[in-house]
Chains A and B, each alone.
Chain A
Amino acid sequence: MKKVILQFRDVTYIYHTARGETTAAEKLSFAVEEGEFIAFIGPSGCGKTTLLSLAAGLLKPSEGAVDSGGVSFGYMLQKDELFPWRTIEKNIFLPLEIKKINTKENRERARSLAAKYGLAEFLQSYPAQLSGGMRQRAALIRTLATDPDVLLLDEPFSALDYQTRLNVTEDVSRIIRTEGKTALLITHDISEAISLADRVIVLSARPARVLASHELDFGTEQNPLKRRELNQFSAWFELLWKELNG
């Protein structure tokens, strides 16, 4: 059995505001193994973003515990959130600066990562000069710059138009698989979850609870576009759709 690197144990999270309290997660339990790609699907507002913030340690559980014993995280958001006043290269170096590990070595590593995934010629460009797809790729390279153990992806494709989205999805999938990263992906999109993940976890409406967890049976096929053409795809789609809407 593989090593478990992140575990939620009966995690409950409650937001407190002047207007009242909102329970965003309730008794959430699941474990993530090293190298696993997990997709979470759930209705909007159910607490998916909260789940990632809990995983990253940005929020502390109201009850229960998140065990992440020293693993490092890289966060990727819905929009690329590249800083418009920085070049792509400077954007990619940002996490190095923040973590105070902005050494020549690390910069070289980040640069070669960018080059490996087709960003070399854009390093000195500003984000506004890149297409949406390229920007999202730059955001992923920024996330990878510090070589995190676990990637947290919060609907990273939902701001893109359909065509770009298919391409970027394939792109990101390839990069994550090549780099051998563990990834938690949040999405509204059932087909996106099926085409990318090893495992899909279905969450309930707010407060988020685990409704089901499915190990997908695509074997070694990891290409999202090819997966969409396989027979299992529609079967999984139907099943997950029923679970979400039933």
Chain B
Amino acid sequence: MKRLKRNKGLQTYSREHALYLKRCRRKSALVWTFRIGLLVLLLGLWELVAATGVVDPFITSSPSRIAKTIASLYRDGSLFYHVGVTLTETIVGFLIAVGLGTGIALALWWSDTLRKILEPYVVVLNALPKIALGPLIIIWCGTGSKAIVFMTVLVGIIVAILHMLSAFIATDRNKILLLQSMGAKKFQILRKLVIPSSLASFVSMLKVNVGMAWIGSIMGEYIVSKAGLGYLIVYGGQVFKLDLVMSATCILCLLAAAMYFLVALLEKILVKTPES
């Protein structure tokens, strides 16, 4: 005889399944404990070796010094200023790269001839290290935020184009045939099939491009800027303020992670895979 256990008054599970669920929960609690424990351990160790003078905190900084630096940046109001500058550049660059890249990929999907003509250009642009264009960008766009956005777009757009184009091209041929047999025009095939079936790829492209956008904006700030987190890092390095370098890096980590999770959240909303 099976002993059944009620769960939330809705579903009944067998005893075995209840045990299985319990094991799952226990495992996930374990993972989280160790994740956070590891972080605390590393920070503690870092603090310890810096405080006892095993390493020179002037070179390695330390968690407490980072916290102090961030606090003082906050007090003189420059924290949000620099974060704001970098965040704006990154997001604007990201949106342009993603939007324009997807648009170009659509055009390339639409016209075989155009795709063939532009293929070598895209390949070369993809292989080119974008940082080589730094001096040109300064001359074209000056040394303000415009140059950094430009760099960000440059880094992200090729990835967006290639990623989306391969998704569009991978559209199921039989489904296209089916639509054609219904008398569908090319635009209808695009709207009813190609775009919806590329949604998952679009989101995975967003995820990749979040990383690309940060590379672009920080790289851009290294080359030209007068403000932003990248600027703080370069400046801190030049004047040997390692606390500043570490602080800016930490903030960058947090921002990049936050943006990634936003996209992951978007994925949950957009890409609904119906359960079987």
Which positions in A face B, CB cutoff 8 Å? 56, 58, 73-75, 77-79, 81, 83-85, 94-95, 97-99, 126, 128-129, 146, 152
Contacts and interface: CB of A to CB of B under 8 A. Distances in A.
Given A56-B181, A94-B192, A83 B175 contact: yes
Contact of B178 (A77, A85, A126, A128): A77
A84 B199 CA distance: 12
Interface stretch (B19-27, B48-56, B158-166, B182-190): B182-190
A15 B196 CA distance: 31
A81 B172 contact: yes
Q: Which of B174, B178, B196, B199 has the most CB of A within 10 A?
A: B178
Given A58-B180, A126-B274, A81 B174 contact: yes
Contact of B179 (A78, A98, A128, A152): A98
A81 B275 CA distance: 18
B178 to A, nearest CB: 5
A20 to B, nearest CB: 20
A89 B273 CA distance: 17
A98 B274 contact: no
B184 A98 contact: yes
23 contacts: A58-B180, A58-B181, A74-B181, A75-B178, A75-B182, A77-B174, A79-B174, A81-B172, A81-B174, A81-B175, A83-B175, A83-B192, A83-B193, A83-B197, A85-B199, A95-B182, A97-B192, A98-B188, A98-B192, A99-B182, A99-B183, A128-B274, A152-B181
Contacts of B272: 85
Contacts, number: 51
Given A56-B181, A58-B180, A94-B192, A84 B274 contact: yes
A84 B181 CA distance: 19
Q: Which 6 A-B pairs have the closest CB atoms?
A: A75-B181, A126-B274, A98-B182, A128-B276, A95-B182, A98-B184
A190 to B, nearest CB: 25
B177 A129 contact: no
Contact of B182 (A78, A94, A126): A94
B105 to A, nearest CB: 20
A56 B181 CA distance: 7
B276 A129 contact: yes
Contacts of B192: 83, 94, 97-98
A75 B179 CA distance: 9
B275 A129 contact: yes
Contact of A73 (B181, B184, B273): B181
Nearest to A129: B276
A197 B119 CA distance: 50
Contacts of A78: 174
A77 B177 contact: yes
B141 to A, nearest CB: 41
Contacts of A98: 179, 182-184, 188, 192
Contacts of B175: 81, 83
Interface string B194-227: 0011010000000000000000000000000000
Interface in B253-276: 272-276
Nearest to A84: B274
Contact of A81 (B178, B183, B184, B199): B178
Contacts of B273: 128
Contacts of B196: 83, 85
A102 to B, nearest CB: 12
Nearest to A56: B181
Contacts of B199: 85
